[in-house]
Amino acid sequence: MVRLDPFAGPGFAALGALGKAVDGVDLPVGFVELVRLRCSQINGCTYCIRLHGEAAVAAGETRDVSDWRTDPAFTEPERAVLALAEAVTLVHDGHVPDTVLDAAIHAIGEVRTQQVVWAATVVNAYNRLAISARLT
C-alpha cells in the first residue's frame, strides 16, 4: 500500500533535474547502475533494487553487486567505486574514509569520483522517497 505520493510537489521535480544532471556523467551507464543498485540494496529499497537491477542488466551488467568484495569478476575500479558508494550510503557510521576516497580517485580520477559521490547521493534520496512511500 502506497502511503503517500512521492512524485507530487516541486521537490520531486528538483530531484529529477538533479538526477538527469547526474545521468550525464562521464561514466559508463552500467557502472552508474551498479552504484545505484548497491546503494539501493544497502537501503533495502525494493522498488529501486528492481529498477536499477533491470537497468544494470540492460546496460550489460549481469552480476549481483552484493558480493563485489569477493567475486573475482569485479575489477579494481569497480571495487573502488562500490566501496565509495557504500561509504556515502553509510555516512551515518562516520565520514567517508580517506582510504576509500583515495582508492576511488586513484582508480577513476578525481572528476569521476565526484560523479560517483553525486550518483550515490541522488539514489540515496530516491531510496528514501520510495521507502517512505512504501513503493514496491
The residue extents of the domains of the chain are: 25-133
Evaluate whether 128 touches 43 at the Cβ level (below 8 Å): yes
Give per-residue pLDDT as tens, 14-31.
Answer: 998 998 888 877 888 998
Triad 107, 109, 36: Cα angle to 5°: 75
**pLDDT tier at 3 (50, 70, 90 boundaries)?**
low
| Nearest residue to 28 (alpha-carbon basis) of 119, 96, 127, 90 | 119
Q: Residue range 44-66: average pLDDT?
A: 90
Record: fold of 25-133 = AhpD-like (1.20.1290)
> How many CA atoms, within 13 angstroms, populate the side-chain half-sphere of residue 102?
3
Sign of CA dihedral 42, 43, 44, 47: negative
